[in-house]
Structure 1
Amino acid sequence: MGVDVATILGTVSQWLWNHVLLYVLLAVGIYFTLRLRLVQVRKLGMGVRTLTAGLRRKSGTERSRGMSPFQALTTAIAAQVGTGNITGCATALAAGGPGAIFWMWVSGFFGMATIYAEAVLAQTYRSVRPDGSVLGGPAYYIRAAVRGRVGRILAGIFSVLLILALGIMGNMVQSNSIAGAFQHAFHIPTLAVGIGVAAVSAFVFLGGVGRVASVTEKLVPLMAGIYVAGCAAILVLNRTELPEAVRSIFVGAFRPQAVAGGAAGLTLRETIRYGVARGLFSNEAGLGSTPHAHAQAKVKRPEEQGIVAMLGVFVSTFVILTLTALVLLTTGVLGSGLEGTALAQLAFQRAFGQAGKGFVAICMLLFGFSTVVGWYFFGEQNVESLFGRRGVLIYTWVVLAALVAGSGLRVDLVWNLADLFNGLMALPNLIALLLLGHVVAGICRAGDGGKHLSGRERKSDSAG
């Protein structure tokens, strides 16, 4: 019975992602790209400068009431750059061939405009309490976009779906991925790994937003540096294969059957579908998750964080995913019949021997744990919005229990539920983005003219 339910949920989730969200997310990205006049091209350099300036703001009292732009970005990247950046890329390559990577770049390019809009709205409609603490995210701008009872219902549905999809079920999957990698590489019992992950997570969770920000600003650069260094070493070793790997991406993007490595009988439609869908799922642009982090940033005007937010998609798609793809292509593992994590482990094992398994396990730990922290925080914001601070402690212990339980379970059902709820929660977020497109465009134009907008922060003495 459980297998039948998992199969049904998987079929529904696949249909939602491949036949609805694939087109809607891409269309929203194109809409904001055109309406904001290629904001991801015009203002990417400005984002780097804004981020650098934000690094200088290191006041401890400020951290307790919010995050610096850098901390907000690393919290967002912590969620974006997870185990899916390894397994998702491997799956796209195995199913869609090398050309799928080109279409992942396309989805990332348009996704940068979408996430700019999400971050701007998260800043504009966030709620600041009298004590200086901040609550924000799609639930707040959904209520602004859709007035009255319908807006409150849509915001509530979004919050419930996110809590279940990311905070609980998604974190079970992350724990399972970490435990599986460590058991395979080091023969450590999965339950022991799950308990260890939960123990370290408890230390971070119970420290509040300040500790989340402090951990992610240190963990994200560390994990990215380790992974980039490992990938770079492989590409240096396989440098003679690199030109062919790059060529196969561009040729396979339009003539998938002309290059090796894809599934037999692969069509252009399938290559585009796998590339765009996996790219959008990986960078999370439009899903409504990362705006919770960007709402916390202490900036002078909403556009500043919108510009910084684009860097998250850039790092996730054009750095981490691209390096993973080139490693898989240059090591020649696509014809092995493996997919997902196993395919990535084989690639690193061919380059580094048995140490490759350990390297992937360590990266899975860092990537997975960073995602656990980010997703927990996003769920916490929505729990507090619905139930107030009293609900947060209960939510914390539920997530910790899920981390332990998820480490030793077959999580097909949980993964399919998380996928489905992820897709469903994107729908009210996308509706709000389109309804508030004029607000985003106005803020972007004001930024082009050098004007400073204060946003529409609403003082509140309650969680909702």
Structure 2
Amino acid sequence: MDSLHTLFDTIGGVVWGPFVLIPLLLGTGLWLTIRLGGIQFRTLGRAMRHAFIDGSSDSDSTEGDISNYQALTTALAATVGVGNIVGVATAISIGGPGALFWIWVTGLVGMASKYTEAYLGVRFRTTDAKGEQAGGPQWYLKRGIPGTLGKVLAFLFAIFAVFASFGIGNLTQANAVATNMESAFGISPTATGVFMFVALGAVLLGGIQAIGKITSAFVPLMILLYILGGITVLIIDAAQIPAALGLIFTDAFTGTSAVGGFTGAAIIQVIQFGVARGIFSNESGMGSAAIAAAAAKTPHPARQGLVSMTQTFIDTIIVVTITGLVIVVSGVWDQGREHAGTMTADAFAAALPGTWGGTIVSISIIFFAFSTILGWSYYGERSLESLFGRVVTIPYRMFFTVVVFFGAVTEIDVVWSFSDLANGLMALPNLVGLLILSGLVARETRAYLKFDPKLSKPVEEVQEFVRSQHMDWK
């Protein structure tokens, strides 16, 4: 097991190193930002309004399994997880406060990547044997890129996504729930495992419709709880915020000297762990959110692309920022890597009275982790289905539900290394595909936003526009 752990760490170090995934992630996001005319900056307000206020009218569309809001919350359920709390702390504990700056950069350019992959998820989706929408990189890479290359990229993505669903999407999250249930409320991991087994199985029986209903109900509440707790801490420590921001921006370009339990970080470490934890948190460029976007009821891919884009903004620019700032302003960031797992809780506890700080973080981790399990169960199922057909759906759900129990009662360090590696390997074929298909997305996006700049056209008019553009999509 130790040798396997070392192997995963070694390969992961190459994949996530300065010459493979980091330049590809940042370069793809920057390229898409340019090709799409800075879409994440000039349309964010409209996208947020459409996602949370007037986007329900899109449900009148005849195609799709869930509303675009439910698709957004399903994707948020999968991305707003332990990475937003422990992952950010890990990045800062290794790379220093400057890592938060590179998380922001990853998020900002990643919004263009998230828009593009969600657009393509809807644009090239298909209908499965049960009449449900199926889409994501495993479909748009194969259908959008002709020849062998597209098929190979789609196959690689699907394989890595299935493995990732059991790693970062199940075992690690289940362990996080069980650990925090035991530390916060004294509930044994076995009892937690049994409860998650039953709860997850009940939800998965209903498929994407049940997942969409559950996530649309509790995801906003869980995020709001954490945000309010974090804002309270920042208000209490408001005097420290200017110095903390100065430290973040300075260390982003100079590295961090050793202080306290912190061993110091070179600039390459700051960037590496900032970018790695950034994508670990918001999944922009990984292609996973496109699987949920493909199930949305929407009259045009651009509308769902814009809605999905807000997910990265919420995840990184809001939730991750609160975590990072709380850690830096509280001064606990220099405790050392071995304290990364409790660093966020320590930061909250330092400002809030009694045990409130630790309790808020523990409850947030529990909800964040369980919601991630729900979202990733759908991602893995759809990826496996693209390889073997609908026949694997029920066996996958059953096995996925069983695995969550074992994740709760066992702690396997190698799973974390494997999860990081699987996430990185997922992103590689998807990013190549985004670059190849960027011209199509840019051209069709410009045409749609010229036709409907306010995202307010009735569904019937949008459908007529689609016909006039001869777009072959469902």
The alpha-carbon deviation at position 174 of structure 1 amounts to 0.4
Residues 43-122 of structure 1: matches in 2 within 5 Å?
43-51=43-51, 52-55=53-56, 65-122=64-121
The amino acid across from 2:28 in the alignment is V
The amino acid across from 1:191 in the alignment is T
Residues 146-185 of structure 1: matches in 2 within 5 Å?
146-167=145-166, 170-185=169-184
**Larger mean Cα displacement after TM superposition, 116-125 or 422-431:** 422-431
The alpha-carbon deviation at position 62 of structure 1 amounts to 7.2
Counterpart contact for 2:137–2:291, Cα < 8 Å: yes
Q: Which residue of 2 aligns with 1:200?
A: 199
The whole-number CA distance in structure 2 between the counterparts of 1:280 and 1:162 is 15
The whole-number CA distance in structure 2 between the counterparts of 1:346 and 1:192 is 26
Q: Which residue of 2 aligns with 1:446?
A: 447
The whole-number CA distance in structure 2 between the counterparts of 1:329 and 1:35 is 35
Closer/same/farther in 2, CA of residues 58 and 306 from structure 1, 3 Å limit: closer
**Larger mean Cα displacement after TM superposition, 329-338 or 261-270:** 261-270
Closer/same/farther in 2, CA of residues 129 and 169 from structure 1, 3 Å limit: closer
Closer/same/farther in 2, CA of residues 58 and 429 from structure 1, 3 Å limit: closer
The whole-number CA distance in structure 2 between the counterparts of 1:360 and 1:256 is 29
Q: Which residue of 2 aligns with 1:348?
A: 348
Counterpart contact for 2:173–2:369, Cα < 8 Å: yes
The whole-number CA distance in structure 2 between the counterparts of 1:264 and 1:289 is 35
Q: Which residue of 1 aligns with 2:459?
A: none
Q: Secondary structure at the match of 1:147?
A: coil
Could you list the per-position Cα deviations for residues 45-75 of structure 1 after superposition, in whole angstroms to 9, with x for gaps in the alignment? 120222221235668x979x51211111111
Counterpart contact for 1:248–1:259, Cα < 8 Å: no
Closer/same/farther in 2, CA of residues 371 and 62 from structure 1, 3 Å limit: farther
Counterpart contact for 1:128–1:134, Cα < 8 Å: yes
Instruction: Report how many aligned residue pairs link the two structures.
Output: 455
- Residue identity over aligned pairs, in percent, reads 37
Counterpart contact for 2:97–2:333, Cα < 8 Å: no
- For structure 1, the residue ranges without an aligned partner over 5 or more in a row are 459-464
The amino acid across from 1:319 in the alignment is I
Closer/same/farther in 2, CA of residues 357 and 146 from structure 1, 3 Å limit: same
**Larger mean Cα displacement after TM superposition, 194-203 or 288-297:** 194-203
Closer/same/farther in 2, CA of residues 136 and 397 from structure 1, 3 Å limit: same
The alpha-carbon deviation at position 291 of structure 1 amounts to 0.3
The alpha-carbon deviation at position 3 of structure 1 amounts to 1.1
Q: Which residue of 1 aligns with 2:458?
A: none
**Larger mean Cα displacement after TM superposition, 286-295 or 179-188:** 179-188
The amino acid across from 2:372 in the alignment is T
Q: Secondary structure at the match of 1:201?
A: helix
Q: Which residue of 2 aligns with 1:38?
A: 38
The alpha-carbon deviation at position 386 of structure 1 amounts to 2.3
1:240 has 2:253 as partner: no
The whole-number CA distance in structure 1 between the counterparts of 2:361 and 2:186 is 14
Closer/same/farther in 2, CA of residues 261 and 226 from structure 1, 3 Å limit: farther
Q: Secondary structure at the match of 2:307?
A: helix
The alpha-carbon deviation at position 270 of structure 1 amounts to 2.0
**Larger mean Cα displacement after TM superposition, 30-39 or 42-51:** 42-51
The amino acid across from 2:252 in the alignment is A
The alpha-carbon deviation at position 340 of structure 1 amounts to 2.5
Q: Which residue of 1 aligns with 2:455?
A: none
The whole-number CA distance in structure 1 between the counterparts of 2:88 and 2:55 is 32
The whole-number CA distance in structure 2 between the counterparts of 1:421 and 1:251 is 32
Q: Which residue of 1 aligns with 2:140?
A: 141
1:375 has 2:376 as partner: yes
**Larger mean Cα displacement after TM superposition, 443-452 or 286-295:** 443-452
Counterpart contact for 2:125–2:134, Cα < 8 Å: yes
The amino acid across from 2:405 in the alignment is V
- For structure 2, the residue ranges without an aligned partner over 5 or more in a row are 453-464
The alpha-carbon deviation at position 314 of structure 1 amounts to 0.3
Q: Which residue of 2 aligns with 1:418?
A: 419
Q: Which residue of 1 aligns with 2:390?
A: 389
**Larger mean Cα displacement after TM superposition, 333-342 or 66-75:** 333-342
Counterpart contact for 1:90–1:344, Cα < 8 Å: yes
1:220 has 2:219 as partner: yes
The whole-number CA distance in structure 2 between the counterparts of 1:310 and 1:445 is 16
Counterpart contact for 2:169–2:372, Cα < 8 Å: no
Counterpart contact for 2:241–2:325, Cα < 8 Å: yes
The whole-number CA distance in structure 1 between the counterparts of 2:445 and 2:192 is 46
The amino acid across from 1:189 in the alignment is S
Counterpart contact for 1:181–1:360, Cα < 8 Å: no
* TM-score when normalising by structure 2: 0.91
The alpha-carbon deviation at position 258 of structure 1 amounts to 7.1
The alpha-carbon deviation at position 39 of structure 1 amounts to 0.8
The whole-number CA distance in structure 2 between the counterparts of 1:418 and 1:55 is 35
Counterpart contact for 1:29–1:114, Cα < 8 Å: yes
Counterpart contact for 2:255–2:264, Cα < 8 Å: no
* TM-score when normalising by structure 1: 0.92
Counterpart contact for 1:126–1:456, Cα < 8 Å: no
Q: Secondary structure at the match of 1:286?
A: coil
Residues 312-331 of structure 1: matches in 2 within 5 Å?
312-331=311-330
The alpha-carbon deviation at position 104 of structure 1 amounts to 1.0
The amino acid across from 1:247 in the alignment is G
**Larger mean Cα displacement after TM superposition, 110-119 or 247-256:** 247-256
The whole-number CA distance in structure 2 between the counterparts of 1:73 and 1:119 is 10
Q: Which residue of 1 aligns with 2:460?
A: none
Counterpart contact for 1:169–1:402, Cα < 8 Å: no
The amino acid across from 1:419 in the alignment is D
Closer/same/farther in 2, CA of residues 130 and 196 from structure 1, 3 Å limit: closer
The whole-number CA distance in structure 2 between the counterparts of 1:131 and 1:404 is 29
Closer/same/farther in 2, CA of residues 147 and 244 from structure 1, 3 Å limit: same
Could you list the per-position Cα deviations for residues 254-281 of structure 1 after superposition, in whole angstroms to 9, with x for gaps in the alignment? 2334796794442222222221221122
Residues 176-325 of structure 1: matches in 2 within 5 Å?
176-257=175-256, 263-325=262-324
The whole-number CA distance in structure 1 between the counterparts of 2:386 and 2:355 is 47
The whole-number CA distance in structure 1 between the counterparts of 2:404 and 2:62 is 31
